[in-house]
Structures are given as structure tokens and as C-alpha cells.
Structure 1
């Protein structure tokens, strides 16, 4: 039976940033390194410096050994959720109002045209009587 992998967002992982609760993201995987902070040869500061992002570049730059890479697998708790977040369309109230007025004027163009037409006819009739 396949193991289900828990997905975490980068925002979720970055909220775990204390000495008692520290997560780090490396190459799309989320690691809970809380119990390892005191043992890490580079100190615990390196974990706090990379919160809120995938720290693969910093991890590779440090030149970790094969045994370090094997050790980190026991701290893996899930993967980074890379599902794109849908963008919201934001419109102002003013734009919505102008659009409604424009739609109304397109629909009811006959009323102003009729008023102008009647005014012209009445004007000609009045001038003919004089």
C-alpha cells in the first residue's frame, strides 16, 4: 500500500520557526528539524536564516556529506505544495458603477433619440404656426 505524503505550503512551513518547533524546506521536501537543532554542526541559526523559502541553494552551498543527506531523511515530514494559487480579479466599486451605466446607455439609446426627435417635430410645428 503506497504511503500518503502530507503537503505543506511554504507559509505553513515558515510559521514553524522557533527553537522548539522548527521546519525547513529543502528541494521541495519539508523537514521537522526541531530535535536536531542542538546537534547541527553549523548551529541552529542557519535554519532560521532560510525560513519562508526553499533552502536548496544554501544546503548545496554548504557541501553536505552523503551521511548528512541520509540523516536528514529521518526528519522528512512531507512535501512542499506547489499547486498554483488562483489569482483573484479585483475591481473597484467605481469601475463596476461606470460599467453598469455604460450598459444601461447601450440598452436604452432609443429613449434619448425619441426625445430629441419629438423636440425637433414640436419645434418645426411651432415655427410653422408663426
Structure 2
């Protein structure tokens, strides 16, 4: 891999445009990473990565306490440096993008809870209907 100086200089505005599932760039410690190929594999889900676009995501990355292997993975996604002169002093609020529902990413515990609760709700409803429709 070439040195940092071999990589291109990117503006904050340019990097911030890449804020979708199929086109996601992150800015961390003055570097820009195209994490698009990692979106489906990120253990925290693609929503976490999308919420870190359009800003310096260094604190987001550090707060999670990523492993050394996660830090090493960044190298393959590195595409350039951010031109610090283009980074706004105060970040404008950007509303989080609503991710489309993906049933393949539904946590297993939610499915197990629903498998348990739905029959109980049906039984409860059947009991209530029977109880309140009995002739007195």
C-alpha cells in the first residue's frame, strides 16, 4: 500500500455526499474510508455506519472500543485524506436516514419474543371473546 501522501485530498463536502448504504464513506482522524463493501458485514449493522457519515466519526469509532483487527481492516477501505480546511467548525444537524426494513437483519431474540407473544395474545383474545360473549 502506498503512503498517505500518495492518496488524494478530498473535501468534506465531497466525502459527506457518500451517505447511503450502497455508497458510504467515513471520515476518521483526517482520513476518508469507503466502507461500502463492509456495510452488510458490520456487526453493529449498516445503520451505525450511516449515522457516522457527514461528520468526523473518530469519536463514534473510539467510543465503541473496536478491536485491533477492526482497526487493521480500515487500511483496505482507506481512499484518501480529508482537507481539514473544508471541515465546518460547527456541524449542521443532519437527520438520520431511515433504513428500509430488512427482515434478514431482524435480531433473533426479537423473532423468538414474537414467536412466544403472538400465541399468548391470540389465546388471551380468544378467552376475552369467550368470557364476554357467554350468555348470562
* 1:17-56 paired onto structure 2 within 5 Å: 17-56=19-58
Q: Secondary structure at the match of 2:7?
A: coil
RMSD value, Cα: 1.9
Cα distance in 2 between the residues matched to 1:13 and 1:84:
11
Aligned to 1:57: 59
TM-score with structure 2 length normalisation? 0.58
TM-score with structure 1 length normalisation? 0.60
What are structure 1's unaligned runs of at least 5 residues?
86-130
1:83: how far off?
Answer: 2.9
Aligned to 2:128: none
Aligned residues: 85
Cα distance in 2 between the residues matched to 1:83 and 1:14:
15
Contact 2:12 2:86 in 1 (8 A): no
Residue by residue over 1:55-85, the C-alpha shift from the partner in whole angstroms, topping out at 9 and shown as x without a partner, is 0001000000000000111000001111369
Greater CA drift, 40-49 or 76-85: 76-85
Aligned to 2:7: 5
1:19: how far off?
Answer: 1.3
Given the superposition, is the C-alpha separation of residues 40 and 5 from structure 1 closer, same or farther in structure 2, using an over 3 Å criterion?
Answer: same
Is 1:78 aligned to 2:80, yes or no?
Answer: yes
Question: Post-superposition, which runs of at least 4 consecutive aligned residues in structure 1 deviate over 3 A?
Answer: none
